């Protein structure tokens, strides 16, 4: 499968998806660590892709997403943003709402 199709599949098949360096329990970058903490604090199950284990995704996702860096949070097929945006939204309570609503919608489907 083409790498862009793989990325599209991952985004379509995982309602809450974090592209990050390392894993939520063993993040390999401060930005990814913060992002994983914030998503975990929202209390819903989420998927992640370790881009350090997937160099092709690391190379191609920024172009596809039009977002240059990692982490990247995707919810309901849409890019939310990186660590700064996620943290800002979390502090306002917006990320919790977005994630909870997306999880509810997915479980009703």
Ligand X SMILES: N[C@@H](CCC(=O)N[C@@H](CS)C(=O)NCC(=O)O)C(=O)O
CA distance 32 to 83: 7
Q: Per rule CB under 6 A, is residue 84 in the interface with ligand X? A: yes
23 annotated as belonging to a binding site for a ligand:
no
- Taking CB under 6 A as the criterion, the residue among 3, 54, 58, 60 binding ligand X is 58
Q: Per rule CB under 6 A, is residue 83 in the interface with ligand X? A: yes
Q: Per rule CB under 6 A, is residue 69 in the interface with ligand X? A: yes
Q: Per rule CB under 6 A, is residue 27 in the interface with ligand X? A: no
From residue 100, alpha-carbon distances to 6, 41, 93, 103, 108 in Å are 26, 11, 11, 5, 12
Phi, psi of 79 (to 5 degrees): -75, 125
When the beta carbons of 11 and 89 are compared against ligand X, the nearer one is 89
């Amino acid at each position: 499968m083409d790498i862009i199709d793989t990325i599209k599949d991952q985004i379509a098949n995982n309602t809450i998806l974090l592209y990050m360096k390392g894993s939520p329990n063993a993040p390999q970058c401060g930005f990814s660590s913060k992002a994983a903490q914030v998503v975990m604090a929202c209390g819903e199950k989420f998927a992640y892709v370790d881009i350090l284990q997937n160099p092709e995704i690391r190379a191609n996702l920024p172009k596809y997403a039009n977002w240059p860096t990692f982490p990247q949070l995707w919810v309901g097929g849409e890019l939310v943003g990186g660590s700064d945006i996620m943290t800002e939204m979390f502090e306002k309570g917006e990320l919790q709402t977005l994630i909870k609503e997306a999880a509810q919608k997915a479980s009703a489907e």
